[in-house]
Structure formats: C-alpha cells, structure tokens
Amino acid sequence: MSQIDHNKFCANIDKPATVRDLVFFLLSPALPPDAGATLFVSSPIPGKWQFLCGISNASPTAKGFILWNEEEAELLKRPEAVLQFGISIEPISNVMQLVQSNTQVRDNYQMFAKGVALEIYNYLSSFAKTTPQGELVVFEAKDIDRWFQKFQEKYTLDPDFIWKLLRRQA
C-alpha cells in the first residue's frame, strides 16, 4: 500500500477478475475519534472510482460489494489488468454521509436476489403443465434440491452467471 497524499492510500490487486468483494476493517481503534475511513475501487475505465464502504472506530468493519458492468468485466479479464483500491481518511461526518447515501450495496444485493429468483423461476417453469384449470407448475420437493445443486455447480464455474442472466433479461 502506498501513501499518495497525507490522508489517501492506494494499492493494486493483480488478476482482478476474481475479486467480487472487499472486506474493510480496523484491527484496533486506530483512527482519530472524529475520523473515519472510506474504501473506493477503481474501474478498469481510467478515472472512474466507485465508493464501496466506510468504517470508523465505532463501526470497524464493512464489506464492499463490487459490481462491474459488462465492459468493465471484459477489461478485467485481460492478463495485464490491475485493480486499484483506495483508502481515504476523512472527517466522520463525510464518511457517514457517504455510507448513508450509498444505496448501491443494497441495490446490488436486491438485484442478486432478483437474479436467483429468476433462475429458480426459469428452472421450475420447465415443470409447467397445461390442465383444464390453466397452466400449472407442479414439482416435487426433490426438484428444489436438484435446482439448488445445479445452482451451486453453475456458481462454482462462474460466480457472475446471475449477473449475466440479469443482463440478458434487461
């Protein structure tokens, strides 16, 4: 990690296509009482930074969830790609304002949940049968287990498959 200003630090991560989340934490109350720290990640598109999360002595851990658009995801797969993350020490009021206004994390989890629901809906739709009452989806409990096993296999092969499914639906 290199210091680039009196309150800013930066580090690089090689092979960034494998990075999905960053956990940000303090080992002990290490910040001045009126300060907090923010974590940003750079996009592979130069000059574009994304706020991930903020911490303070009172709230010493946070998780930043990274969501790349399709262009960024492709750029990160290149062998020469490097991901930068930056840490900025700020007045606690600035950190709290950034954290409170950052709806991206909540939206990302909500979109991921939507993708999982869409994945199971698509799978269970294959069990649809036309009856005199209309189209019904009839399945056994083991079918849910089978879906979950397939979901885990897909996720192991490609943790981004849900995001790709959502992009195809858009």
Q: What is the mean pLDDT of residues 160-170?
A: 75
Q: Which two tokens stand for residue 58?
A: 């009172």
| Residue whose C-alpha is closest to residue 72's, from 20, 7, 28, 11 | 20
| Residue whose C-alpha is closest to residue 152's, from 142, 162, 166 | 162
53-105 residue pLDDT tens: 899 988 888 887 777 777 787 888 888 888 888 999 999 999 988 887 776 66
- The CA–CA distances, whole Å, from 63 to 55, 76, 92, 117, 152 equal 10, 21, 18, 23, 23
pLDDT of residue 147: 93
Judge contact between 22 and 85, C-beta under 8 A: yes
pLDDT of residue 136: 85
pLDDT of residue 105: 60
Residue 40 has pLDDT above 80, yes or no: yes
Confidence of residue 140 (pLDDT cuts 50, 70, 90): confident
pTM for the full model? 0.61
101-130 residue pLDDT tens: 776 666 777 888 888 999 999 898 888 888
Q: Which two tokens stand for residue 170?
A: 């858009």
Average pLDDT, the chain: 84
pLDDT of residue 162: 82
